[in-house]
Amino acid sequence: MTDVSLRSTPPPPRQAILPVRVWQQISPSLVPVLAVLTALILTVPLMIFTGGRGDIGRGLNIAGTAYSALLEGALGIVINDQVSSADLNLFLTLAADQPLNNNDLRALSRSFTDAQTLGATVVTRYRGAISGLATLDDDALTELAQGVVDLDTVDAALVTANRPLIAELAALPRGDVRDLGEQYGRATSLTAEDRTALAALVPSVATLSDAEMLAALALVGGEGIAKLERLVTALDLLAVNNIALGSPEAVALGELATVEGGAAVVRSAVTAFDILDRAGITDITALAEQIAIVREMYSVGLLSNPDVNAMIATELTPALADNLVVRRPGNRLVVDAGTSVTGVINNNSNTPDDTSDDRPETAYLRLGGSALLFFPVNLETMLVRAIPFIIAGLAVALGFKAGLFNVGAEGQLYAGGIFAVWVGFAPLFDGLPMIFRLALALVGGITGGFLWGAIPGMLKAFTGAHEVITTIMLNYIAVLFVDWMIKSTTPVILLDVTASTPRTPFINEAARLPAFTSLPVWLFFLAGAALLALGLYQRRTRIATDIRYALRPVVDGVLVVVGGLFLAWVGSRGALHVGFVIMLAAVWFTDWFLNRTTLGFELRTVGTNPDAAKYAGMSVPRNTILALALSGALAGLTGAIEIMGVQYNMQPAFFSGLGFDAIAVALLARSNPRNMIPAGLLWGSLLAGAGLMQVRADIAIDLVKIIQALIIMFIAADVIIRVLWRVPDQGDRAETTFIKGWGG
């Protein structure tokens, strides 16, 4: 009989619930996105402790405002509230309390601004100080305030005792008074002849002793007769209004002298609080904003009746009901006639009948009491700023793929830029047609970067010098060499001698990249048709068996046409240039080269395992040189595009920092050329929206640099992100192994 022992069998593994399984599948590819999201979240506490001063509610509001401004500045998209009668409740209360006209609104707006600047507590003190001085005009009141300040440094009793003397001296010529002050101001005694001479000029001194006379003359010599006259006037006014020196009223008058704008600003603020008190309104900030909105509605023509009360009765409600009126920060308005749900507001710089220069300024979509706004100019700016980051990021990523850390993109940018700018302005090429000169300038930029990148490649291949050291040093050489060529005057090399600042001459019009808005519409349809025909030809065999294979070429062709038309519409300001298309071509070419060609395969193999590559018959030195040279060529292309599409000349330190930002973009894209477009767009968005974020949320622009630093840190140390977001490690981290260590 066999003895069978029972053993406990481990239970089968529990199946994860569906959302967890989905997250495990998609989250590894989202690590860069999660890094960006984490960086944005971690900056919120900084806003709470800095801008919010520890107030969580205020800090969160600042964070919301900051990120909304960042989105608006980058993509041009924002949601703002539409103006309704309820938004003007305090203004309506004010108008019901007193008759107003539209000119009064300007004065009220100024008064409320002054009141907000000074504050309720300060204005209350001033109100008590000037309540009995209504007969004085603003200049006289300001002079009285200055007199009170001066009385703090002068013996008021001495001024009062010598009032007759001051009055008699004021009647004399100023030169005589000045001479008396200089002659007797520092005297320690008087002779009989001196007393006789003084008595002849100023009879009132006859009643004074020598000591009193010397003290009076010292006062005149030290302060001047003009100032003493003002002090006497100030003492008289204070006495008439029962204001004693040192009293709270006198102190307030003295402070008034330090207010920018003087008595006019103080009286304006006092008037504002008087109006608020009569109307029973306590929120001066909200009222000032509502008055600004009404004034803006007058300025854009929605309101016309100068009688404010009549306007409220007949115009205000229809104006808000029959038009789109969206309130923007700074109490600016976006206005469009009609009640349509969507629309585009054009900016016409000529006459209303001339639509040739119309440019889309704002597109909108009504969302109940709010509106989704799109400002094309913001998106255009972001796209222009993102182009160099994407191409330069490709340059760094190509080096990463070959196991090389190209820190020299900055110098290669300068090398490419200086070649391109020379081709652009040199008279030697003036006879070339535009298409050839554009191509030659681009080739010049690529060549300059290629040659500058090949130098560290050869040093690495033949001497073993580490590319990080050599590329960093070559950065300094390129930047300073270009700086010398531009600034040199003996001899003049690239300097434009007619310019007020050191720069090269502007490149010829034929060497400038065309803007999308200057391209004919038929060109977009031609490009779409060409791509459609190419796709159909490549898939002709499969299409013959299944017509559904034709769908992809059709979609691609339509996307090219629609995308081109959209970019031309967005780029109506003329800043978005065809460098955007060159950037897309560079991304496609780099991806194709690395993944579809023998040379690309060899570069990736050398980067992964140079020993195995060498054993397989691949030349490691040749691929090292080629990788850094091609990396430099892409960086040089970036420099050429920036010169030909944005600046049109070259200045010292023009590309400052761009090459190093490219490293961050390459890290964010995980060295994948296809990911370079979203990574570069993100980087361009952060920079394009930083200024508006600073203005709207009143935070330091350096916050964007903190966000960028956190993103880089989380990409480099992605274990942090995996732990925070419970991202499983599925072996995809090989993509992030960019370079080997210092051992080569």
Domain extent listing, the chain: 134-240, 380-515+571-736, 516-570
Q: How far apart are CA 17 and CA 2, in angstroms?
A: 43
User: Does residue 83 contact residue 327 with C-beta atoms inside 8 Å?
Assistant: yes
At residue 486's C-alpha, the angle toward residues 483 and 489, to 5°, is 115
Which pLDDT value is given to residue 27? 80
- pLDDT for 644 equals 95
Confidence of residue 529 (pLDDT cuts 50, 70, 90): very high
Residue 563, pLDDT score: 93
Place of tokens 């006789």: 196
Residues 90, 283 contacting (CB under 8 angstroms): yes
Over 50: is that where the pLDDT of 87 sits? yes
Give the pLDDT score at 520. 92
Name the residue type at position 460.
Answer: K
Of the listed ranges 130-134, 174-178, 239-243, the least confidently predicted one is 174-178
* Residues 637 and 684: beta-carbon distance below 8 Å: no
CA 629, CA 631: separation in Å to the nearest integer?
5
Express each pLDDT in 571-616 by its tens digit: 888 899 999 999 999 999 999 999 999 999 999 999 989 989 999 9
Strands 332-337 and 342-347: unpaired
Per-residue pLDDT for 53 more than 50? Answer: yes
Q: Which two tokens stand for residue 700?
A: 């330091």
Whole-number percent of the chain with pLDDT over 70: 91
Mean pLDDT of 208-225: 72
The predicted structure's pLDDT at residue 36: 86
Burial 335-366 (b: 16+ CB within 10 A, else e): bbeeeeeebeeeeeeeeeeeeeeebbbbbbeb
**Can you read off the two tokens belonging to residue 239?**
């006495």
Contact 160, 166 (CB under 8 A): no
Distance from C-alpha of 94 to C-alpha of 125, rounded to nearest angstrom: 24
Contact 445, 637 (CB under 8 A): yes
Between 365 and 13, the higher pLDDT residue: 365
Predicted pLDDT of residue 117: 82
Give strand ranges (E) for 542-610.
none
Distance CA 418, CA 412 (A): 10
Q: What is the DSSP letter of 369?
A: T
For the cut 50, the answer to whether the pLDDT of residue 82 exceeds it is: yes
Element (H, E) at 585: helix 579-596
Q: Is the pLDDT of residue 4 over 70?
A: no
Q: Which residue has the higher pLDDT, 659 or 704?
A: 659
Distance, in Å, from the CA atom of 353 to the CA atom of 238, rounded to the nearest integer, reads 65
Higher pLDDT, 18 or 420: 420
Please state whether 179 falls in left (phi above 0), alpha (psi between -120 and 50) or beta.
Answer: alpha
pLDDT at 349 over 90: no
**Percentage of the chain lying above the pLDDT 90 cut:** 39
Looking at residue 32, its pLDDT comes to 83
pLDDT of residue 14: 57
Cα radius of gyration (the chain): 38
Q: pLDDT averaged over the chain?
A: 85
- Check residue 454 and give its pLDDT: 96
Tell whether the model's pLDDT for residue 54 goes beyond 80.
no
- Condensed to tens digits (0 to 9), the pLDDT of residues 543-580 reads 888 888 899 999 999 999 999 999 999 988 889 999 99
Round to whole Å and give the CA distance between 346 and 305: 27
Query: Could you report the per-residue pLDDT of 635-680, keeping only the tens digit for each?
Result: 999 999 999 999 999 998 888 888 889 998 998 888 899 999 999 9
d(CA 84, CA 88): 7
Buried b (16+ CB within 10 A) or exposed e, 257-295: bebeebbbbbbbbbbbbebbeebebeebeebbbbbbbbb
Contact assessment for residue 325 and residue 319, using Cβ atoms and an 8 Å cutoff: yes
pLDDT of residue 267: 82
| CB atoms closer than 10 angstroms to residue 535 | 20
| pLDDT at residue 22 greater than cutoff 50 | yes
Taking a C-beta distance cutoff of 8 angstroms, is the pair 549, 543 a contact?
A: yes
Which one-letter DSSP state was computed for residue 82?
A: B
Distances (CA, A) of 152 to 117, 313, 400, 468, 473: 27, 55, 73, 68, 65
| pLDDT tops 80 at residue 150 | no
By mean pLDDT, which of 25-29, 131-135, 716-720, 739-743 is the weakest? 739-743
Mean predicted confidence (pLDDT) in 410-430: 94
Distance CA 417, CA 636 (A): 6
**Predicted pLDDT at 110:** 86
pLDDT at res. 618: 92
Q: How much is the average pLDDT of 278-295?
A: 88
Dump pLDDT digits (tens) for 102-128: 888 888 888 888 888 888 887 887 777
Better-predicted residue by pLDDT, 183 or 697: 697
The pLDDT of residue 631 is 96
pLDDT for the residue 449: 96
Interatomic CA distance for residues 217 and 198, integer angstroms? 10
Residues with Cβ within 8 Å of residue 619, at least 6 apart in sequence: none
Most confident of 292-306, 618-632, 718-732: 618-632
Residue 1: pLDDT band by 50, 70, 90 thresholds?
Answer: very low
Indicate the class that CATH gives domain 380-515+571-736.
mainly alpha
Within 8 A by CB and 6+ apart from 435, the residues are: none
CB 110 within 8 A of CB 269: no
Which DSSP category does 494 fall into?
S
Distance CA 324, CA 364 (A): 9
Q: Which of the four pLDDT bands, split at 50, 70 and 90, describes residue 444?
A: very high
Going by pLDDT thresholds of 50, 70 and 90, the confidence category of residue 445 is very high
The label of the residue with tokens 């309101």 reads 303
SS3 content of the chain, % helix, strand, coil (to 5): 70, 5, 25
What are the tens digits of pLDDT across the range 479-493?
Answer: 999 999 999 988 899
